[in-house]
């Protein structure tokens, strides 16, 4: 279901004022008028309904009708550690991640990335944040996707170490083009992780040194059949597979041999 993502929280009195692009979308495109209501997602991820009081003077004034109660998500956060790709591919990856319920997108400059790490990615991050908002608005995703500023490979592993301190059962999965280990998504996810990160390389994948460093800090290698996926396809493919398996985890049960199999009705 499409829900409007508020760019900022309501005032202490529960009021909102929307201008320019937001006004155009709601009033000109969606044809909303004073007296109507629309579903919204607050910046913190909670849901509400907005009662429109006025659309005069190119300003939409609305009242937040309180936060809606909803069942808390039982899924662990999913993070995408994305090797910086060429051109505008990162825009597509960010959009697909937001639509697919990824909680964190962490771009990093890999050894095979053609771009170099810069000091200031402020404008890029702002654009990605706009893309996230548009994608959540289109898809109705309740998950607030956070975009981190691009970082070096060393900084990425430092970030991973900080996550290991924050979560009890974090799981890192390394999407690789070579079969380093006969692991499966289901085998890895069957241990009920409370945080899942997927690392996808840029064009050309990861270097041997990068693979070695991922494995040295406990990441699990993963390859999907004999097909070599483009980086933007791998990001979508991998995060979607993780989310689907987690959503359907109750349909799986251990068999007598200690492995896992589908439980059919």
For 143, the token pair is 């998950």
18 within 8 A of 57, measured Cβ to Cβ: no
| pLDDT tens, the chain, 265 aa long | 577 888 888 999 999 999 998 999 899 988 999 999 998 888 777 788 999 999 999 999 999 987 765 555 578 999 999 999 988 899 999 999 999 999 999 999 999 898 877 777 888 899 999 999 889 888 878 788 999 999 999 999 999 999 999 999 999 999 876 655 667 888 888 888 999 999 999 988 899 999 999 999 999 998 766 777 889 999 999 999 999 998 887 565 554 444 444 443 3
pTM, two decimals, is 0.77
Burial category of 138 from C-beta neighbours within 10 Å (exposed 0-12, middle 13-18, buried 19 and up) = middle
Task: State the CB neighbour count (10 A cutoff) for residue 234.
Answer: 23
Can you point out the beta strands (E) in 102-163? 104-109, 146-147, 151-152
For residue 133, what pLDDT is reported? 87
39 within 8 A of 51, measured Cβ to Cβ: no
Q: Where in the chain is the domain with CATH 2.40.240.20?
A: 4-67
Q: Where in the chain is the domain with CATH 3.40.1280.10?
A: 78-252
For residue 144, what pLDDT is reported? 86
- CA 150 – CA 35 distance, rounded (Å): 44
For residue 260, what pLDDT is reported? 47
Helix, strand, coil in percent for the chain, rounding step 5: 35, 25, 40
Report the run of H or E that residue 244 belongs to, with start and end. helix 231-247
CATH number corresponding to 4-67:
2.40.240.20
- CA 188 – CA 181 distance, rounded (Å): 12
Q: Does domain 78-252 have CATH number 3.40.1280.10?
A: yes
């Amino acid at each position: 279901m499409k829900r409007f993502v508020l760019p900022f929280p309501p005032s202490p009195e529960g009021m909102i004022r929307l201008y320019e692009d937001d006004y155009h979308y709601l009033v000109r495109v969606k044809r909303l008028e004073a007296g109507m209501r629309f579903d919204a997602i607050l910046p913190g991820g909670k849901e509400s309904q907005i009662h429109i009081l006025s659309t005069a003077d190119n300003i939409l004034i609305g009242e937040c009708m309180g936060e809606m109660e909803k069942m808390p998500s039982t899924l662990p956060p999913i993070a995408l550690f994305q090797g910086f790709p060429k051109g505008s591919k990162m825009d597509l990856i960010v959009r697909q991640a937001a639509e697919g319920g990824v909680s964190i997108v962490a771009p990093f400059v890999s050894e095979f990335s053609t771009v170099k790490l810069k000091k200031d990615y402020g404008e890029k991050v702002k654009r990605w944040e706009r893309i996230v908002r548009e994608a959540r608005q289109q898809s109705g995703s309740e998950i607030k996707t956070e975009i981190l500023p691009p970082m070096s490979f060393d900084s990425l592993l430092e970030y991973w170490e900080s996550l290991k301190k924050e979560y009890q059962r974090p799981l890192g999965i390394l999407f690789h083009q070579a079969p380093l280990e006969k692991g499966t998504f289901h085998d890895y996810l069957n241990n009920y992780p409370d945080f899942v990160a997927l690392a996808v390389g840029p064009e050309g994948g990861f270097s041997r040194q990068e693979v070695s460093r991922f494995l040295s800090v406990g990441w699990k290698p993963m390859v999907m059949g004999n097909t070599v996926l483009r980086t933007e396809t791998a990001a979508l493919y991998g995060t979607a597979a993780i989310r689907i398996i987690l959503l359907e985890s109750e349909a799986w049960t251990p068999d007598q041999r200690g492995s896992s199999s589908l439980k059919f009705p």
